[in-house]
Chain A
Amino acid sequence: NKAHSQPSGGRAPIGYPGMTGMSDAGNFGGNNFMPINGLTAIQNQVLNLIKACPRPEGLNFQDLKSQLQHMSVSAVKQAVDFLSNEGHIYSTVDDDHFKSTDAD
């Protein structure tokens, strides 16, 4: 009276591929910055500047541009666009003034 046991629940050999192939993947594409918290470097800079602005109406676009002279206007605009889309910043008195939602 032998039970025919089948080792069905055996060990499944799960190979762990481990993406160790590339250590410290370099950022080769010039405008593809490393995302830190889901934001690119440029978006982070813009967000930080807006956060740092003490004025109640927020930072205006002119100031933003002049503080980010190494970036093109369109790049700054894009970052602002993205950040407001995500809800990190919002426009205040007009479309040129931005305030951060993170720092209240």
Chain B
Amino acid sequence: LVRIQRNKAAALLRLAARNV
């Protein structure tokens, strides 16, 4: 389940990077 958190964090980072 750490994996899920990590994936989510990574995804949110990607999304944030996209929106900059």
The interface of chain A, by Cβ under 8 A from chain B, is 84-93, 99, 101
The CA of A90 and the CA of B14, in the complex, are separated in Å by: 10
Size of the chain B interface, CB-CB below 8 angstroms: 14
Contacts of B12 in A (CB 8 A): 87, 101
Nearest Cβ in chain B — how far from A55, in angstroms?
A: 13
Contact between chains at B15 and A86 (CB < 8 Å): yes
The interface of chain B, by Cβ under 8 A from chain A, is 1, 3-4, 7-8, 10-18
Contact between chains at A87 and B4 (CB < 8 Å): no
- Interface residues of A: mostly helix, strand, loop or mixed? mixed
Contact between chains at A101 and B8 (CB < 8 Å): yes
Most buried by B among A87, A88, A89, A93: A87
Give 9 pairs: A residue, B residue, CB < 8 Å, sorted on A: A85-B14, A87-B11, A88-B11, A89-B11, A90-B4, A92-B4, A92-B7, A93-B1, A99-B8
Contacts of A86 in B (CB 8 A): 14-15, 18
Contact between chains at B18 and A90 (CB < 8 Å): no
Interface contacts beyond A87-B12, A91-B7: sample of 8 additional A-B pairs, CB < 8 Å, sorted by A? A87-B15, A87-B17, A90-B4, A90-B8, A93-B3, A99-B8, A101-B12, A101-B15
